Every structure is written in C-alpha cells, then in structure tokens.
Amino acid sequence: MWKYLYRAVDSEGNTLDFMLSAKRDGKAAVRFFRKVLKAQHTQTPRVINVDKNAAYPGAMETLKGDETIIEETELRQSKYLNNVIEQDHRNIKRIVKPMMGVKSFNSARRTLNGIEAMNRLPKGQVKEVKQGDRVSQVKFIESIFGIAA
C-alpha cells in the first residue's frame, strides 16, 4: 500500500523534519506544516516551495487563518523548484528500494527515522559532528553503538 513521505528541507539542504502519512491530503499537509513550523530549530519561512499537489493551497490558507504562519509567507507550487527536496530524497529511495517494502506502517516509520538520522550526520546536523568530517562521524557512531564503522 502507498504511504507518503512529507519532507522539509531548508535552502541549504538541511533536513528540518519529515513525516510519514497514510494519506496525501489537506489534513496531512496541515499536520506536517504545523509540526515543522512549531519546532524550535525552524524559522518563519519567507517562501515555501512545494509540488503541484492540490492540497497545499488549502493547507496554507488554514495555517494563515490560525496564525501558525504569517500572511506574507508565499507558497510557490512548481514541479521544478523543489529540486533540493528531491535530491535529498534520493538517498532514502536508494536505501528503501532494495528492501522491496516493509510489512507495517510502524516498521516503515521506524526505518525512515533511522535513515533520516544517519543522513543528518554528513550534513553536520549533529552537535559533535562537523559537516563532511568523516572522522568525527565514525567516532560519533562508535560512541553510540559501540562499534567501529
């Protein structure tokens, strides 16, 4: 069965958040935007680039109506402007495709949590790890799991 992965990436390619959803509708979009925008590490965006899904304009109106997002925030729907997200999403597809699916929604969610956590290491989104520093990445993995990578 199809499940949908919502992802938020900033202009520098840093992963802000993600959410696995059973549906790709307005309610799921609102739930994801609220989750991302209320996080401590997230700033109010000037522009949000999304694909052509018809649920996004309604979701943005809902968020502007309840003041989760400011009125000045622009929604840009374009097939090509979300390339930063698509390129970031490529790593997940590369890992998940050979698995040929998962048995349950919860196991998919847990698997994606692990993949997303590991993808944040090379980006420098972990406190003790500098961006691109392989040695500090290996030391971090070793300190958490007790194994040398």
* Domains within the chain, CATH numbers bracketed: 4-145 (3.30.420.10)
**Cα–Cα distance measured from residue 76 to residue 4, given in angstroms and rounded to the nearest whole number:** 20
121 contacts 130 by C-beta, under 8 angstroms: no
Query: For 13-55, how does the pLDDT look when each residue is reduced to its tens digit (9 = 90+)?
Result: 788 888 999 999 999 999 999 999 988 888 888 999 888 889 9
95, 88 Cβ separation under 8 angstroms: no
What's the chain's Rg over C-alpha atoms? 17
Q: Are residues 142 and 148 in contact, defined by beta-carbon separation less than 8 angstroms? A: yes
38 or 122, greater pLDDT = 38
Q: Taking a C-beta distance cutoff of 8 angstroms, is the pair 108, 20 a contact?
A: yes
Spell out the residues 6+ positions from residue 32 whose beta carbon is closer than 8 angstroms to its own: 6, 8, 17, 19, 21
Q: What pTM does this model have? A: 0.73
